[in-house]
Amino acid sequence: MVWLVPDFLSRIVVVEMGDVMAICKLSEISNKSITRISCGIIELDRAIGKTDIGNSRFFGFPIGKISYLSGEHGVGKSRLSIQICKTLNKQGHKILYFQGEVPLPQFKEWFGHNPDNILCGNETDPSSIIDDINVVNPSFVVVDSVNMIDGFMTIAKDKNSFFTDLRRSLNEVQAHCLMLGQLNKDGSAKGPSDITHLVDIVCKLQFLKNADFIVNSGWKRDTKLKYLQTMSNQYGNCFVWDIGKNRYGCSGGWVMFRHNAADVQFLASKDIYESLKEAKKTKVPEKKVKKRIGSWWDR
C-alpha cells in the first residue's frame, strides 16, 4: 500500500533547479511530497516513520530514499529482508533483489515459492544496477550486500555518484531501497565511514543481548527489559532491528523478532513497550492498553 505524505525536509534555503543552484526565500519554496510504502510488518512500519495528515496517520518506508541495515554475522539480515519482500509481494508490489551471497538457485530456495513479481540478479556494476532499476520499475529494491558493488569499499567519489544516481532512479520509479551490510565487533557499520552520511535511514540488526538499548540500559534497571530477557531465554533466537539516524522518522526505535521454522515472527517493539510504561503511569485500564498492543501483554 502506498500513501502520499508531505516532505517537511524539503523546506531548505538552497534549492536545485536543473544544474543551477539558486537562493530562495523559504516562503517561495513549495512543499514537495513523498510517498511511503508499508512493508506489511505493522510495528516495523511504525518504527521506520509516521506522518499525520488530518485525522489519519500513515507509516512505512519513504519512497525515493535509501535505508542501510547492517547486522551481526548470522543474525538473519537476508532472511528478514526476504520476509519483507514476501509480504510486499502479497500486496502486489514488484521487488528487485540484488544479491551476491549465494548462487541464484540456492537463493530461490530461500524464498520457498516462486512469485512472478520478485526479480533477482547478481549484478555488481553500479551503473548496471541503476539501469536494471529503471528497466524493471520495482516498488522495493534490496541490495544484499553493499560489499558486492564494484569499488564500493574504496572509491569515495564513485560512491557519492552512485548514491546520487540511485536516489534519482528511486524517485523516478517510486521505490525504496534497502541495502544490507555487516557490523564490526564494536557495533559500528563495516566499510567506509561515510556510508551513514550517504543514506537516509541507518539501522542495525543485532541479537537481543547485544542491542544498543539493552547494553546502554541494563536489564536490572527496568522490569520490562528484564521481561524481554525472559522472552529471549524462552525463544532463544531473538534479534532486534534498531533504528539510528532517520531523516524521515524518529531515531531510537526498535523492533524485536525471532526466527522460527518457517519465517520471522514479530515479538515486541519500543512503541509497545513505551505504551505499557505510559499506561502504568496514567493508570489506564488494562483492557484499553491490551486493545492497542494485541496479545503482546500476555506473552
Of the residues 22, 45, 61, the one at which a domain ends: 61
Please report which confidence band the pLDDT of residue 191 belongs to, taking 50, 70 and 90 as the band edges.
confident
Contacts of 157 (CB under 8 A, 6+ apart): none
Q: Are residues 93 and 157 in the same domain?
A: yes
CATH number of the domain that residue 66 is part of: 3.40.50.300
Please report which confidence band the pLDDT of residue 96 belongs to, taking 50, 70 and 90 as the band edges.
very high
Burial class (CB in 10 A: 0-12, 13-18, 19+), 18: exposed
Residue 230 to residue 66: CA distance in whole angstroms: 35
Q: Is the pTM of this model over 0.85?
A: no
Model confidence pLDDT, tens digit, residues 116-127? 889 999 899 999
Residue 198 to residue 177: CA distance in whole angstroms: 13
Q: Are residues 16 and 138 in the same domain?
A: no
Whether 298 shows a pLDDT value over 50: the answer reads no
Cell of 36: 511511503
Q: Are residues 72 and 47 in the same domain?
A: no
Model confidence pLDDT, tens digit, residues 61-81? 999 999 999 998 889 999 999
Q: How many structural domains comprise the chain?
A: 2
- HSE (CB half, 13 Å, CA atoms) of 115? 20
Of the chain, the percentage scoring pLDDT greater than 70 comes to 76
Cell of 126: 553500479
Tell me, what's the pLDDT at 295?
A: 45
Model confidence pLDDT, tens digit, residues 235-247? 777 899 999 999 9
Q: Are residues 176 and 224 in the same domain?
A: yes
Q: Are residues 132 and 48 in the same domain?
A: no
- 268 pairs with which residues across the strands? 256
Q: Are residues 77 and 201 in the same domain?
A: yes
Q: Are residues 13 and 159 in the same domain?
A: no
Pairing mode, strands 33-37 and 2-6: antiparallel
Q: Are residues 112 and 37 in the same domain?
A: no
Q: Are residues 85 and 44 in the same domain?
A: no
**Three-class DSSP labels, the chain:** CEEEEECHHHCCCEEEECCEEEECCHHHCCCCEEEEECCCCHHHHHHHCEEEECCEEEECEECCCEEEEEECCCCCHHHHHHHHHHHHHHCCCCEEEEECCCCHHHHHHHHCCCCCCEEEECCCCHHHHHHHHHHHCCCEEEEECHHHCCCCCCCHHHHHHHHHHHHHHHHHHCCEEEEEEEECCCCCECCCCCHHHHCCEEEEEEEHHHCHHHHHHCHHHCHHHHHHHHHHHHHCCEEEEEEEEECCCCCCCEEEEEECCCCEEEEEEHHHHHHHHHHHHHCCCHHHHHHHHCCHHHC
Of the residues 41, 61, 81, the one at which a domain ends: 61
Q: How many CB atoms lie within 10 A of CB 51?
A: 20
Tell me, what's the pLDDT at 177?
A: 98
Q: Are residues 198 and 248 in the same domain?
A: yes
Cα–Cα distance list, 116 to 86, 87, 112, 142, 231 (Å) = 11, 14, 13, 16, 37
Residue 15 to residue 22: CA distance in whole angstroms: 6
Model confidence pLDDT, tens digit, residues 255-268? 989 888 878 888 88
Cα–Cα distance list, 104 to 12, 99, 100, 123, 186 (Å) = 44, 8, 9, 12, 32
Q: Are residues 162 and 208 in the same domain?
A: yes
Q: Provide the domain limits for residue 19.
A: 1-61
Q: What is the mean pLDDT of residues 96-116?
A: 85
Whether 269 shows a pLDDT value over 80: the answer reads yes
Of the residues 38, 61, 84, the one at which a domain ends: 61
Q: What is the mean pLDDT of residues 25-53?
A: 84
Q: Are residues 30 and 175 in the same domain?
A: no
C-beta of residue 146 within 8 angstroms of C-beta of residue 177: no
